[in-house]
Amino acid sequence: MADAHMLVFQDSRLVYGKFKGNAVRDFFDNFELRFCTLDIKMRRSGCLVVLPVLVLILPVVLAEYLLPGDVVPKHYDVRLVFDVDPRTNYSFFGVADILLDVKKTTSKIVLHAQEYTVAEDKVVFHGAGDLPAVTSVKLNDTYNFLTLTLNKELVEGSSYRLQIPFYGNLKIGLDGVYISTYVNKKTKLREYLIATQFEAISARKGFPCFDEPIYKATFRLNIGHHEEFTAVSNMPLFNTTKDNALEDVWSWETIAKKFRKDRAHFVWDQFENSVPMSTYLVAFVVSKFSYVESPPELANTKFRIWARSDAIDQTAYAANLGPRVLSHFERWFNVSFPLPKQDMIAIPDFSAGAMENWGLVTYRETALLYDNQQSSFLNKERVAEVIAHELAHQWFGNLVTMKWWSDLWLNEGFATYAASVGVAAVEPAWRADRSYALDNILSVLSLDALESSHPVSVPIDNPKRISEIFDEISYRKGSTIIRMMTMFLGEHVFREAINNYLVKHSYGNAEQDDLWAELTAATQRHGGLSRNVTVKQVMDTWTTQTGYPLLTVTRDYTDNSLTISQKRYLSLGARASSASSWWVPLRVLCEGETQTQQEAGPVQWLAAGEGTRSLHRFEHGAAPDQWVIFNTDMIAPYRVNYDPRNWQLVSRALASGHRAVPVLARVQLLSDALELAWAGRLDYTTALQLTSYLQKETDYLPLSTGLRALAKIENVLKRTPDYGAFQKFVRRLIGETYNRSGGLSSGMILNEDDLISVKMQVTTSSWACRMKVPGCEENAIALFDRWMESPNPDENNPIPLDLRRTVYCVALSRGSVRHWRFALERRRSANVAAARDQLLHALACSRDTWILAQYVLAHPNIPAPQHPNTTPYLEWAITEGSEVRRQDAAAVLAGVTRSTVGYYVAKDFIYDRIQDIYNAFSQGRRIGFIIKTLLDQFIALFL
């Protein structure tokens, strides 16, 4: 497992640009800059930083973690009975009957099991003939291998039926088969439910199984439970009976000793046989939930949305959108949805945003439920995006599954890309195809610029490392390079290839080379790519290598030529030379040309190896006084650095008439200029002069991109004397746009039906309050005070929905403990997850350290506050059954860590309570998220 250790950072050579002295203040005041740099070296003679982190000690193995494959499953009959009752410690009994095919003669069967007891004396084979007997049952805890030794060999080519009985107790948690709880807002009673989360390797916690994606099989589930509950699973219900389905192995007398309940109150729900699928897609929920059924005309598939009975009125949007997205994907993939029904269910405690279990998609409440009185427009967009993502998985991931987790990106990257396709089809005014692509690319450009990044297709040498690749590289970079393919192949060719891929590998497994083969074949049928390059040649450079290229473009102003070099971009500077190179699709726009003209021509290529050892020459059509811009449609994730004269030409064009430069080109320029300056590859005079045009920008995407990049500078300056100059600079950039978009002074959302307009008002309002735009914070506090004065604040909230997150945070950072406790009470009363989420974020904005953490722990030398019933907010994050749900705990710790005052409190808390934090989070990704957030703030302190 993991232990807390002390990691000492010494003699590290992290070098950043330092915003120092009057030089930057002068620029922020006058849009001019004299830029200074300061090397920050954490040395023995300088600062010594001691940071508690978790060090995971993982054994070095080759293929020892994989099942041998001598015996494979063909069908599972899984019978379970649960007592959803804390008084009996959530007891359960189960039987897994597995039909096995023998691929190689063997006297051992190896499969997976974890967190329950296998009844060794009851493990037997069933069937006719002279069957083998099980002589020993051993469980290896390292890889959860359950090894059954037999008294005779299984015969190659034969089939056997193996029965494995087991029993145990469920836990309140977030993976495997787990218990979740909630309080019914109508009855005020605490209710319990059983949920599952089996991805990636937690199906073994539900029942003994071959828990690797390549071992697809059919499943028939039979679930026993108290009659007050309802069970739902991947497939439709076949029948319900009062007969104990486990009687041949677990008599009711045995079960009753644990359950202490009358058999007459239990029922067993048997579900239809499933299609062949991987174990991680098996799912069931046992609850007291209700459901609504979608209008049958929206899809050919029966569609139901499940939720808490007191939240069922929040399912209308999902019930309408879900079947429309499903129907669109049937047309887009040209493959029918193969199941007779599709259920989607909102779980009160859920580790991920959602999980694509075939026929039963599970969600966090915030990702499925929408209330038009309590959920913002941005919440609505999030619901649509997640639903589209999960429904795309029903084809890409479920129908065709990766062979091993190394190709997780085939699942997640494609679903992330397809989400934009699905949302754009059902909500076309949102322009999801463009906005989602931009968000994905910018995230990739940030994360993949680190030496610690990993390839899209990454070798996994230990199952315990699988969770590490459920990150933005697999999701967002995967999506970005899939979008890149659609652009250089053309959508018609791309969709033809995807259809062939899905049909050919239906109900089976595939790897990325299988996808490349279909894409190359489709491309060749339509004439092929320029330079006779294959899809595999291009895409392997993007999936098997870490990172992305920086193109350095230098123009020769005496003719129409330029030179290009490529090298892997690293945001902190390369510590070692890199031989990486890519096939880079090039689209180049010259001043005076239109985007349409540029896109009409074929994509040009910078080949792998070109521009590495020698410069690659490229001709263009711009005059010496005209600009040249690469990647104007952001076809691929790479950065571009120009010679100083071309940067000046671009900057001048933006200042004089920015609309002559296409929207995505403006996004690319802003992102590149500020990032290259941050990394010391471009002077800040050039970068900030280019950024100055934002005061005239009226399109949301470039403005939000510029602010996103400036946030890195803000993080450095916010604890320095230069922060005021930075605030003044940003006020000039956003002041007019803030007022024009409606801001906070209007007390309303100006264009509440226009998502882009709403985003503009929300983003500029948040920045305006942080940058001290006159009146912004005062308006926020006034709105919050009006809410506090409302006679029925839980029903009447005067704060506009999409502005609440900003208003809440300002009010709680500027207000007193009275404001904090009012927000806490409203969160306790809220029945809409989105509303609770906004208030949870706001509670972390407090500047009262005694509220954020235990007083003695954080500030032992400060007198105790004279406040009764003090609330240690951070303590809740690691306390079971507290105000903070397990799914939200990491967000609480990260939220406090990011705040200016809260950082110091959170740092002490994490230092002193690292073992308790680890004990509270069984999911390693959450630990990493907390540590990363702390380090982001820690680094800023030394710049």
Q: Which residues does the annotation mark as catalytic?
A: 390
Give the CA angle between residues 826, 797, 386 to the nearest 5°. 75
Q: Is 168 annotated as a binding residue?
A: no
The DSSP string of 3-66 is: EEEEEEE-SB---B----HHHHHHHHHHS------B---B-TTS--EEEEEEEE-----SSTTS
Q: Is 412 annotated as a binding residue?
A: yes
Is 26:32 a contact under the CB 8 Å cutoff?
Answer: yes
Q: Is 389 annotated as a binding residue?
A: yes
When computed from its CA atoms, the radius of gyration of the chain, rounded to whole angstroms, is 29
Q: Is 225 annotated as a binding residue?
A: no
Q: Using CA atoms, how far apart are residues 193 and 590, in angstroms rounded to an integer?
A: 61
Is 618:630 a contact under the CB 8 Å cutoff?
Answer: no
Phi-psi sector, 622: left (phi>0), alpha (psi -120 to 50), beta: beta
Is 533:542 a contact under the CB 8 Å cutoff?
Answer: no
Q: Is 385 annotated as a binding residue?
A: no
For residue 458, the tally of other CB atoms under 10 A from its CB is 21
Give the CA angle between residues 91, 256, 83 to the nearest 5°. 30
Q: Using CA atoms, how far apart are residues 355 and 74, in angstroms rounded to an integer?
A: 24
- Percent of the chain that is helix, strand, coil (3-state, to 5): 45, 20, 35
408: its two tokens: 């997780």
Is 365:833 a contact under the CB 8 Å cutoff?
Answer: yes
- Name the burial class of residue 873, with classes exposed (0-12), middle (13-18) and buried (19+) by CB atoms within 10 angstroms of its CB: buried
- Mark 603-632 as b/e (b = at least 16 C-beta within 10 Å): bebbbbebbbeeebebebebeeeebbbbbb
Q: Which residues, 6+ apart, have CB-to-CB distance to 631 below 8 Å?
A: 586, 587, 638, 640, 665, 668
Q: Is 353 annotated as a binding residue?
A: yes
Q: Is 357 annotated as a binding residue?
A: yes
Q: Using CA atoms, how far apart are residues 773 and 306, in angstroms rounded to an integer?
A: 44
Q: Using CA atoms, how far apart are residues 379 and 382, in angstroms rounded to an integer?
A: 5
Query: In the block, which residue shows the tokens 């711009």?
Result: 622
Nearest to 124, CA basis, from 216, 209, 219, 249: 249
Q: Using CA atoms, how far apart are residues 674 and 691, in angstroms rounded to an integer?
A: 8
Q: Is 579 annotated as a binding residue?
A: no
625: its two tokens: 């006084």
Give the C-alpha distances (Å, rounded to integers) separating 95 from 119, 167, 221, 270.
10, 9, 10, 14
Q: Is 355 annotated as a binding residue?
A: yes
688: its two tokens: 């900030």
Q: Using CA atoms, how far apart are residues 726 and 733, in angstroms rounded to an integer?
A: 11
Letter for the amino acid at 536?
K
For residue 557, the tally of other CB atoms under 10 A from its CB is 14
Is 409:456 a contact under the CB 8 Å cutoff?
Answer: yes
Longest dimension (CA), the chain: 94
Distance, CA of 305 to chain centre: 22
Which residues participate in the annotated binding site? 199, 353-357, 389, 393, 412, 926
Binding residues for Zn(2+): 389, 393, 412
Output the known binding site for substrate.
199, 353-357, 926
